[in-house]
Amino acid sequence: MAEDVIIEYRDVSKRFGEHVVLDGVNLTVRRGETLTIVGRSGTGKSVMLKTLTGLVPVDAGRIFVDGDEVTAMEEDDMREVRRKIGMLFQNAALFDSMTIFENVAYPLAEHTDYSEAKRLEIAKETLEMVDLQGIEDQFPGELSGGMKKRVGLARAIALRPPIVLYDEPTTGLDPITSNVINRLIRRLQRKLEITSIVVTHDLESAFMITDRIAMLHEGKIISVQTTEEFRRAQDERIHEFATGGLSEEELRSVGRVL
Ligand SMILES: Nc1ncnc2c1ncn2[C@@H]1O[C@H](COP(=O)(O)OP(=O)(O)OP(=O)(O)O)[C@@H](O)[C@H]1O
Ligand SMILES: [Mg+2]
């Protein structure tokens, strides 16, 4: 594994019953970069993220995180890997019966022996990093979608992990709130020097926060390109995804040019 590579998928395959989802995925992520994975619904983007922390076990192939092969690990060693990886789940996935403080501090309770006072201090500091203050005692049900995403983000970075995975961080949010989240992600990356993998359908967000874009198509990563290359890509499959299958005339009618 080259020194500047922090995550590597080698020929990774995963099926659920007869349904082959990943069919020989190869991908490397460089230390410090932000890489976006795009692809149509149901292609296995969320599954790809979940294989990194062993949440979804793979059938074949190898996955390396920071020099260690996670696909060869016992459960005990996976804890160390999970500590290194923060994850913002699709739909934020907060614990509804826990307060915002308990949600954000959850990884601290799982992975450290910090006192409650220390956990509260870190939770407050982390909530401030995502522009939320004074909501420690509220419950997820009391928050808007955008606020929940930000709480999910705070939980993902509570341990200050070197790697953060964002699964659809802006889906379902209005354009202004989306850009607030995108700026936040950018800011956190710079401040904490995080390596990120972002899964999104939202190409505008991808262009805003990404160094490289990987496209997952029919079980394989069919291309990894810079955002500039992606915009100009001639590949039929990328072009179709980028235009949403619209013709040139339709693109013009909605005021979009690639
Ligand atoms: N635990 C599971 N058991 C059975 N099938 C699963 C499981 N998890 C995922 N799948 C299937 O794997 C495929 C890929 O799912 P995944 O959630 O990774 O798609 P996705 O690319 O993230 O889609 P979306 O963009 O809609 O979020 C889907 O067909 C899904 O039904
Ligand atoms: Mg998904």
> Domains in the chain, start-ordered, CATH in brackets?
5-253 (3.40.50.300)
pLDDT(1) > 70 = no
Give me the pLDDT at residue 89, please. 86
Residue type, 6: I
Probe target for ligand 1 pocket from 12, 15, 18, 21, with the most ligand atoms within 8 Å of CB: 21
Ligand 2 midpoint to CA 22 (Å):
13
Assign 3-class secondary structure to the chain. Answer: CCCCEEEEEEEEEEEECCEEEEEEEEEEEECCCEEEEECCCCCCHHHHHHHHCCCCCCCEEEEEECCEEHHHCCHHHHHHHHHHEEEECCCCCCCCCCCHHHHHHHHHHHHCCCCHHHHHHHHHHHHHHCCCCCCCCCCHHHCCHHHHHHHHHHHHHCCCCCEEEEECCCCCCCHHHHHHHHHHHHHHHHHHCCEEEEECCCHHHHHHHCCEEEEEECCEEEEEEEHHHHHHCCCHHHHHHHHCCCCHHHHHHCCCCC
Ligand 1 midpoint to CA 41 (Å):
8
Give me the pLDDT at residue 236, please. 86
Q: Is 42 in the pocket of ligand 1 (CB under 6 A)?
A: yes
Q: Is 47 in the pocket of ligand 1 (CB under 6 A)?
A: yes
pLDDT band at 12 (very low <50, low <70, confident <90, very high): very high
Q: Is 133 in the pocket of ligand 1 (CB under 6 A)?
A: no
pLDDT band at 251 (very low <50, low <70, confident <90, very high): confident
* Residue pLDDT, tens place only, 51-70: 999 889 999 999 999 999 99
Which ligand has the minimum distance to the alpha carbon of residue 51? 1
Q: Is 57 in the pocket of ligand 1 (CB under 6 A)?
A: no
Q: Is 18 in the pocket of ligand 1 (CB under 6 A)?
A: no
pLDDT band at 231 (very low <50, low <70, confident <90, very high): confident
Give me the pLDDT at residue 223, please. 95
Q: Is 41 in the pocket of ligand 1 (CB under 6 A)?
A: yes
Segment 69-88 shows an average pLDDT of: 91
Q: Is 44 in the pocket of ligand 1 (CB under 6 A)?
A: yes
Output the pTM of the full model.
0.91
Report the Cα–Cα distance between both ends of the chain, in Å, rounded: 36
Ligand 1, atom 6: nearest CA belongs to which residue? Answer: 16
pLDDT(42) > 80 = yes
